Amino acid sequence: MNIEIVRMDNQGRGIGFYNNKIVFIPNTLTEELVEFTIEKETTKYIEGRLIKILKSSSKRVTPSCKYYGECGGCQLMHMSYDDQLLYKKDKLEQLFKRQLQLDLKIEVEASSQFNYRNKIYLHEGGFYDVYNKKIIKIDECLNAKQEINEVIDNKHSLIKYHDRLIVNKEDIAFETLNNIKYKISYDTFFQVNKEITLKMFDYIKENINAKINVLDLYSGSGSIGLYISDKVNKVLGIDNNKKSIEDANFNIELNNINNAIYICDDATNYLKQLEEYYDTVIVDPPRAGLTKEGINLIQDLKPNQIIYVSCEPMTLVRDLKELTNYEIEKIKAFDMFPNTYHVESIILMTYCGFKGEK
């Protein structure tokens, strides 16, 4: 079966049409003519497997990774890095235009294309394939730091590298971002790309007012809140991961910070009992985004500014639709995950009043 690829989807797959159904095919580019087989078919769409490229795009490049096309870890390595950035820029701009009727020009901050990851997750010594059906064993990952590649042995399930390796659950490591040092435990979250993390945190710090109170929701081990603590009056961080909060409070002492507090609780649950006013609320939720109740509670708090850090554009625009008392002041994207379709965004929002207010 042959089809022409007419555009790209949000997951980096090429889109074509066959028998009046939309077809998604990984590792293809717009204007290519390809041969494919059906991997999965529903009443509405087909997931195809690329068999042969009959007419190649002038934009296609040869992937550097020997596992690319089988391994599901990357989706865009058949594009030049400049084209990857353009793809992500266009994806976000079209999404905001389609969902929020906003005609924006969005800058995407670039990263080093390879050897940027300080953490990888392996499953029985490899990554799942493109169709999430089997594990592709690897002996290196071009996205990972070289120190990680030196210890991959087809056995580990998770490997982190900061100032030393974390392989086992009892291991810890430390990372330094400018003058802030962070303890990182095996099962806690910390950003995987130091280069981009610094750019993101600097952007937040530049755009936050001085001498204010900051509520840091989904705070993790305090990465953002502690980074900006020397500019603001107070930081209160909330996260439901007990180990992350333990690390956050350890990091407070480690850095001799006296204006930050971290509490273990569900963000929505804590907002219900919150009485103190906060000028700025920072939210950095998981891919599922914010809860509807949480959004309403944040709006009831009436902070002057909301800073939304998002790793999933689809849930981001869903939540922005609900934040009706706030208007977007700035948006900037950051390429935290080169060679993949993922992109981080930071939205700066300012209070514009409740509906009906004059």
Judge whether 311 counts as a catalytic residue: yes
pLDDT of residue 31: 97
pLDDT of residue 20: 92
Q: Which residues of the chain have pLDDT under 50?
A: 356-358
What is the residue range of 17's domain?
2-60
Residue pair 62/80 in contact by the 8 Å Cβ criterion: no
Shared-domain flag, residues 110 and 10: no
Name the DSSP letter for residue 358.
-
Over residues 259-308, the pLDDT tens digits come to 999 999 999 999 999 999 999 999 999 999 999 999 999 999 999 999 99
Shared-domain flag, residues 46 and 97: no
pLDDT of residue 155: 66
The tally of domains found in the chain comes to 2
pLDDT of residue 165: 76
pLDDT of residue 204: 98
- What is the C-alpha to C-alpha distance for residues 241 and 227, in angstroms, rounded to an integer? 20
Active site residue: 65, 74, 311, 352, which one?
Answer: 311
pLDDT of residue 210: 96
Judge if pTM exceeds 0.85. Answer: yes
Shared-domain flag, residues 209 and 157: yes
Alpha helix (H) ranges present in the chain? 81-100, 146-149, 194-206, 223-228, 242-254, 267-273, 292-301, 313-322
* Residue 281, Ramachandran bin (φ over 0: left; ψ between -120 and 50: alpha; else beta): beta
CATH value at residue 141: 3.40.50.150
Shared-domain flag, residues 22 and 94: no
- What is the C-alpha to C-alpha distance for residues 69 and 163, in angstroms, rounded to an integer? 32
Shared-domain flag, residues 153 and 202: yes
CB count in 10 Å sphere of residue 234: 18
